[in-house]
Amino acid sequence: MKIGFIGLGNMGGPMAVNLAKAGHDVTGFDVAGVTADGATVAASAVEAATDADVVITMLPNGGILRAVANEVIPAMKAGAVLLDCSTVDVESARDVAAQASDAGLGALDAPVSGGIGGAAGGTLTFMVGGSDDAFAIAKPLFDIMGQKAVHCGEAGNGQAAKICNNMILGVTMIGTCEAFALADKLGLSREAMFDVVSTSSGYSWSMNAYCPAPGVGPASPADNDYKPGFAAELMLKDLRLSQQAAQGADADTPLGEAATALYTTFVEDEDGKGRDFSAMLPRFEKRSRS
């Protein structure tokens, strides 16, 4: 396929490289001027989108997505697919999809899970909203960039799945970190804590695959001084999106709200910015109940 790729940062760059390695004709553009190996460099987003079969975007937020969509949709050929892999608010995803549809284009919102390592290794999971026809066109590209693509239904449902998943992740990571800090003060070793919880009812991805305690369980950012695999500020972004969506849907999410407040404090008032989201554990270690 002829692919336009807009947004070649830490996630988009490796994704574009994998598509080019697989033999696709990739033209890339990034406002910061970064490039991707194997991709032709475009001078603008419009140039990258012109004549492309699929235009992929990986952008920071919904406002930027809307701005880029306003630029590229008029330049895209009829029947092409706008595939947005950013994590943005559901409303922006649905509005851009409607705008693309009105222009005779397919549209998919397909946020990812798997982080920078998954982008480089082609092992991302895509949560996809949009039409069956557009999903069928993009499916071969998902197979190159990732290990799994789940079609979640109509436009915006990919974003809905992502923010619901990451609300669970934020809540469970806080609970896991709180429990380790409590175990420390009760005199329970971290290894014993892990051995019990990882094989009993406290089992979770936060404990078993991404343990926040260094030296316990599989290797995780905790073993690398909490250098980010998934930065705390990105978790905060996703939690805020979850609460924006909850407000719009009139959904009661008290734990999601509490997790958002804790990560806000951690990132904006403490030392969380630039650290992995599991660095909540050393935060709780230093705190008392009062």
The catalytic residue positions are 162
**Which residue blocks in the chain are alpha helix, DSSP H?**
12-21, 45-49, 62-72, 90-102, 115-121, 132-145, 157-186, 190-197, 205-208, 232-249, 254-268, 280-285
DSSP secondary structure string for all residues of 172-239: HHHHHHHHHHHHHHHT--HHHHHHHHTTSTT--HHHHTS-SSTTSSS--GGGGTT--SSBHHHHHHHH
- DSSP 3-state assignment of 110? coil
- From the CB of residue 53, how many other CB atoms can be counted at a distance below 10 Å? 18
DSSP letter, residue 77: P
Chain centre distance of CA 147: 15
* Token pair recorded at residue 177: 């970190």
- DSSP 3-state assignment of 129? strand
